[in-house]
Amino acid sequence: MGDEQRLSYEELISRSRESFEDGRDFTLAVEEEFAILDPATHDLVNRFEELQAAALGTPLEEHLVGELIASEVEVRTGRCETWAEASARMAERRTQLVELADSLRMALASTGTHPWANWKDQRIIDTPHYRLNDKVLRYVVWRNNTFGLHVHVGIRGADRAIRTMSKLRNFIPELLALSASSPFVEDVDSGLHSARTEIFTRMFPRCGVPDAFDSWREWEDYIRFLYETRSITEHTQVWWSVRAHLAFPTVEMRICDAQPTLEEGQALAAFIYALTCRIARALDDGEAIPDQPHRLIEENFWRATRHGLSGELIDLATGDVLPARARLEQLADWIAPVADELDVSLTIPTANAAERQRARLDEGATLREIYAEQVIERVRA
């Protein structure tokens, strides 16, 4: 490894630690990914660059980015100081994006997968970052035609951020179950509630449930090991379902499927935000939150992937097997004091997006009819 690259990642690690030490508690940002569609057929279309060009000079410009394939677009709230601000920004960004797409005669949808698109028909966008991922990952990245929702939460203190990340890993399955929206992929009923999870977390390296780390030093040593062994060339190549972000002083939850409606996206982001803040407060108060073994979290992870909110999850602290909704309600009760303090409402839906789509399939609707119901807005005639 050359001296220049070594200095580069050492500087990154050093600056990241400093930014966490000087960071602000409980800021947040939300990122949502959308499929770009033909308005008549709802097929994926490779038109991201047109959206990006049309956004130039508009309020959306700095918040619209590419996300691997040219039939996908991501919008970001930017850093928000409160949940109320983030919720409003999510609504604003969706409105801006839908209006922009509508002006170009494109439609949009936001579920974890597209039900019938062929990954071979999707084009990777031409940026240095994604050209590198294409070179490094090949088939793995080609297959990743998926759409998610990510939430960043500001955590002050480097050790505290790493411990918050480590405790959050216990609850990855609950958040996945809550967010499941992708039962259909490659023109079949996958039998899963989150086919996206299998495509992304089971194929990518350094993905899924991370190890538990007790300190920034342990995390730093791991990142340094990856660079020194030439396992990664960019810090974003750590694709874990929850990670401390090295460019921002945030803990980022990455497990969730994209959400079809604004209200579902807001409710999911609110739950993640309040849970993250609750864990940080618990650490401050010396409340015990065990680091559950990877093998046990994986049991719940599979249950959430397969059955979502319709199945059962294990309370890993007691070994009790509960309906997934009961487990989420239990978790919401634990979060509630901090959620109230932050003015965050916690909502567990009567039916999440995967359940709604499965119910329509049982009624005899086709995959195309079901997906048409997820499209955010039709283009005007």
Q: pLDDT per position in the chain (381 positions), as tens?
A: 554 455 589 999 999 999 999 999 999 999 999 999 999 999 999 999 999 999 999 999 999 999 999 999 999 999 999 999 999 999 999 999 999 999 999 999 999 999 999 999 999 999 988 888 889 999 999 999 999 999 999 999 999 999 999 999 999 999 999 999 999 999 999 999 999 999 999 899 999 999 999 999 999 999 999 999 999 999 999 999 999 999 999 999 999 999 999 999 999 999 999 999 999 999 999 999 999 999 999 999 999 999 999 999 999 999 999 999 999 999 999 999 999 999 999 999 999 999 999 999 999 999 999 999 999 975 443
CA dist., res. 328 & res. 335, Å (int) = 10
Tell whether 342 is covered by a domain: yes
Tell whether 339 is covered by a domain: yes
Residues 6+ apart with CB under 8 A from 62: 78
Tell whether 344 is covered by a domain: yes
Tell whether 94 is covered by a domain: yes
Tell whether 380 is covered by a domain: no
Tell whether 378 is covered by a domain: no
Burial class (CB in 10 A: 0-12, 13-18, 19+), 234: middle
The residue range of the domain holding 43 is: 3-372
Tell whether 379 is covered by a domain: no
Nearest to 180 by CA among 147, 217, 134, 140: 147
Residues 6+ apart with CB under 8 A from 187: 115, 116, 367
Number of domains in the chain: 1
Tell whether 377 is covered by a domain: no
**CATH number for the domain harbouring residue 151:** 3.30.590.20
